[in-house]
């Protein structure tokens, strides 16, 4: 069964085009006359959709950020998955193992959405092959398990349809930033992805001092791994957690995500670079997220390193729900709308003072609540 629905399309422009007058003689239009639509320019279109199709989900909730998808038009379309993005094209592997370089159907690119791009690595799609190994993406299936962030006031879906995220943080060069880990944990909870924290370059530091940090996250139920791509420490444990799963590796530039993947599966030969000697910051080596099939079973996604991670679509009032250690204290606050920032009868602040809630985690909450990036050292 098919059904017709109306969908919103992107607006061409919010203001009329500039009047280009080449000479005074060419300007014969009456003074003050304007030919344009009244108010904002709106665009809609009727599309055919399969009966029972659900709107595409952001992973937060099945009806959040929904974008209606058209039905796959006619026979000859193939199901596949987006492996990586290459400029304006997506590399899609179909269910029969073939790969196609696909452009996105113009209608999909025109759909009104807050996303930076309508297609993301990991998306399950329907494509229509054309000449040789080329084709067009006709439809994007509903998503689950997404890792997303804010980029230039738009949503950047880094990867879709994954089970877990390995948050890779280096212990040195660049230095460990627990506040950045906390932001990833919130985004993972928002996208319904199980988190794993991987503290890399363990061969370069004395790990005894890390026990309080490891204990903190372990009490929150987050698995912690100490790894080294050089010595091989923790690689076997990490590999076991990847078997049969679909996992995204995420973290700032220079923490060693590609090096870990090379150690996990010899022969990948992913490009790696040294950390800058000037500012001890990582250099961007991986430039696009890509799905990699593991010999031991499962998939991993290597993502480009980032230096800032801004949350997307989380209201300050919702933030307390993403901090598990807050939950038992929230009902004890003196005000039902307590923000846990400045109130005088706040059970969260009192728990921090008494040492029952980690002070650094509380400062992470404050940074996210105010929208200020706080990714300082431990």
pLDDT (tens digit, 9 = 90+) per residue, 175-195? 999 999 999 999 999 999 999
Quote the CA–CA distance of 187 and 183 in Å, as a whole number.
6
* Residues 79-137 pLDDT 10s: 999 999 887 889 999 999 999 999 988 777 776 566 778 899 999 999 999 888 999 99
| For residue 28, pLDDT beyond 80 | no
Average pLDDT over residues 131-145: 90
Q: Which residues contact 5 (CB under 8 A, 6 or more apart)?
A: 46, 47, 49, 68
CB neighbour burial string for 135-169, b if at least 16 within 10 angstroms, e if fewer: bbbbbbbbbbbbbbbbbeeebbbbbbbbbbbbbbb
Query: Around Cβ 22, how many Cβ atoms within 10 Å?
Result: 7
Work out the percent of the chain whose per-residue pLDDT is above 70. Answer: 74
**pLDDT reported for residue 275:** 52
Q: Which residues contact 143 (CB under 8 A, 6 or more apart)?
A: 56, 57, 58, 59, 123, 157, 160, 161
CATH topology of domain 147-302: Rossmann fold (3.40.50)
Instruction: Return the closest-CA partner of residue 150 out of 319, 306, 377.
Output: 306
Mean pLDDT of the chain: 82
Q: Which residues belong to CATH 3.40.50.300 in the chain?
A: 147-302
**What class does CATH assign to 2-10+47-140?**
mainly beta
End-to-end CA distance of the chain, in Å? 57
| For residue 45, pLDDT beyond 70 | no
**pLDDT reported for residue 65:** 44
**pLDDT reported for residue 117:** 80
- How would residue 63 be classed by pLDDT, with cut points 50, 70 and 90? very low
- What is the SS3 assignment for the chain? CEEEEEEEECCCCCCCCCCCCCCCCCCCCCCCCCCCCCCCCCCEEEEEEECCCCCECCCCCCCCCCECCCCCCCCCCEEEEEEEEECCEEEEEECCCCEEEEEECHHHHHECCCECCCCCCCCEEEEEECCCCEEEEEEECCCCCCEEEEECCEEEEEECCCCEEEEEEECCCCCCCHHHHHHHHHHHHHCCCEEEEEEECHHHCCHHHHHHHHHHHHHCCCCEEECCCCCCCCHHHHHHHHCCCEEEEECECCCCHHHHHHHHCCCCCCCCCCCCCCCCCCCCCCCCCEEEECCCCCEEEECCCECCCECCCCCHHHHHHHCHHHCCCHHHCCCCCCCCCCCCCCHHHHHHHCCCCCHHHHHHHHHHHHCCCCCCCC
The arrangement of secondary structure in 316-370, i.e. its CATH architecture, is Orthogonal Bundle (1.10)
> Two tokens at 246?
């679909």
- How would residue 147 be classed by pLDDT, with cut points 50, 70 and 90? very high
Q: Any idea what the Cα angle at residue 155 is, between residues 149 and 160, rounded to 5°?
A: 70
* Residues 277-331 pLDDT 10s: 444 444 545 678 899 999 988 999 988 877 778 899 899 999 999 999 999 999 9
Q: Which residues belong to CATH 1.10.40.50 in the chain?
A: 316-370
Region at 106 (left for phi over 0; alpha for psi -120 to 50; beta for the rest)? alpha
> Two tokens at 27?
């300007």
Instruction: Return the closest-CA partner of residue 82 out of 74, 70, 90.
Output: 90
Whether the model clears a pTM of 0.85, i.e. scores above it, the answer is: no
Higher pLDDT, 306 or 227: 227
Higher pLDDT, 53 or 330: 330
């Amino acid at each position: 069964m098919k059904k017709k629905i109306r969908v919103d399309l992107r607006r061409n422009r919010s203001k009329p085009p500039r009047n280009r007058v080449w000479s005074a003689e060419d300007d014969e239009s009456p003074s003050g006359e304007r030919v344009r639509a009244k108010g904002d320019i709106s665009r809609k279109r009727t599309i055919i959709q399969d009966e029972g199709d659900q709107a595409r989900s952001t992973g937060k909730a099945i009806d959040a950020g929904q974008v209606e998808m058209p039905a796959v038009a006619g026979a000859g379309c193939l199901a596949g998955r987006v492996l990586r993005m290459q400029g304006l094209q997506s590399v899609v592997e179909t269910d029969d193992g073939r790969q196609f370089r696909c452009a996105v159907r113009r209608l999909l690119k025109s759909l009104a959405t807050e996303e930076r791009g309508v297609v993301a690595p990991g998306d399950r799609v329907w494509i229509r092959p054309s000449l040789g190994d080329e084709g067009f993406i006709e439809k994007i299936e509903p998503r689950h398990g997404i890792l997303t962030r804010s980029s230039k006031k738009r949503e950047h879906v880094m990867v879709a349809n994954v089970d877990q995220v390995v948050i890779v943080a280096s212990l040195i060069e660049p230095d460990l930033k627990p506040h950045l880990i906390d932001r990833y944990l919130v985004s993972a909870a928002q996208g319904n992805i199980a988190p794993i924290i991987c503290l890399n370059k363990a061969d370069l530091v004395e790990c005894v001092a890390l026990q309080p940090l490891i204990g903190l996250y372990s009490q929150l139920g987050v698995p912690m791994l100490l790894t080294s791509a050089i010595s091989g420490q923790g690689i076997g444990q990490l590999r076991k957690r990847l078997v049969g799963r679909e996992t995204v590796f995420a973290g700032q530039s220079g923490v060693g995500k590609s090096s870990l993947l090379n150690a996990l599966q010899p022969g990948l030969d992913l490009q790696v670079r040294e950390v800058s000697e000037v500012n001890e910051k990582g250099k961007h080596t991986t430039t696009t997220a890509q799905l990699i099939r593991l010999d031991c079973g499962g998939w991993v996604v290597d993502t480009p390193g980032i230096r800032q991670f801004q949350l997307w679509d989380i209201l300050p009032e919702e933030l307390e729900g993403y901090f598990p250690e807050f939950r038992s204290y929230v009902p004890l606050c003196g005000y039902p709308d307590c923000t846990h920032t400045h109130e005088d009868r706040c059970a969260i602040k009192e728990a921090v003072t008494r040492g029952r809630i980690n002070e650094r985690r509380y400062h992470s909450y404050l940074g996210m609540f105010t929208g200020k990036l706080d990714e300082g050292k431990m």
